[in-house]
């Protein structure tokens, strides 16, 4: 997932939420743009959150980008990537009920 954030403040520090000092997940800053490349095949690399909608089959990836300004409060941006499923077919797994109690079991009243 590629996330591009326009930065108006050149002194601001931009990073992924809870990964401020982590070197593998830092943004590439070029001409007032901060670009994050977040791998979707290895979500543990940069702490991306993955949600699977079992009804529609779409996969949703989330992360938070923090912009820490010098004189203003922090700005938090929620980024989201939705990947639709190829088919909307569901596979239901039926579970059969087992009788785990003995045949002559009687519950006390």
Q: Any idea what the Cα angle at residue 27 is, between residues 22 and 28, rounded to 5°?
A: 130
Six-digit token string for 50: 């993955």
Model confidence at 27, in pLDDT bands (50, 70, 90)?
Answer: very high
Model confidence at 93, in pLDDT bands (50, 70, 90)?
Answer: low
Tell me, what's the pLDDT at 94? 56
Six-digit token string for 1: 């997932």
So where are the chain's domains?
2-83
Q: Average pLDDT of the chain? A: 86
Inform me whether the pLDDT recorded for 76 exceeds 60: yes
């Amino acid at each position: 997932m590629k996330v591009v954030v326009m930065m108006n403040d050149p002194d601001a520090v931009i990073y992924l939420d809870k990964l401020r000092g982590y070197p593998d997940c830092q943004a590439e800053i070029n001409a007032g743009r901060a670009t994050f490349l977040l791998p979707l095949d290895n979500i543990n690399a940069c702490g991306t959150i993955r949600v699977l909608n079992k009804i529609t089959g779409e996969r949703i990836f989330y992360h938070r980008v923090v912009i820490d300004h010098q004189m203003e409060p922090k700005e938090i941006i929620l980024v989201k990537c939705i990947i639709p499923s190829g088919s909307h077919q569901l596979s239901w797994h039926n579970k059969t009920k087992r009788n785990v109690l003995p045949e002559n079991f009687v519950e006390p009243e």
